[in-house]
Amino acid sequence: MMDNLRRAVLQNFKKLHRTRLKVFAGDYRALNAARLKINEEYKKNKAVQDSDAIQAMIKYSEEVEQELRTQVIQAREVKPGVFEARITEDTVKLDNVPFDENADIPKKSRRNQPCCQDQESKKQ
């Protein structure tokens, strides 16, 4: 059991470092900071023996790796005020709907939905 956990911890450690190299490619300051933080966290928890705690930390490291891989993007200024974002195939891309100040918002019947401010004044 402990050998499997040890293997999983090592795999996650390596995966975090591979993700760090990919996400922060070319940004030596971020690469170094991420390396130091990953190593610090793993050294800090090196003596943990409880298998439940180790499994929880493995799950957390998997979540951190996914967050780095899918949510973090790099941007660099290519000319004053103009930035270029480096988006990878793993980056989560959401639909971007432009703001329309003239959009027609349907008015709902408010008979059954009192205003939150009305509810606050009744409490006092």
Q: What does the domain layout of the chain look like in residue ranges?
A: 2-86
Q: What is the pLDDT of residue 52?
A: 93
Closest CA to 61 of 18, 3, 1, 15: 15
Q: How would you class 70 by CB atoms within 10 Å of its CB: exposed for 0-12, middle for 13-18, buried for 19 or more?
A: middle
**Sequential pLDDT tens for the chain (124 residues):** 678 999 999 999 999 999 999 999 989 999 999 999 999 999 999 999 999 999 999 999 999 999 999 999 888 889 999 998 888 888 888 888 888 888 777 766 555 555 665 555 555 5
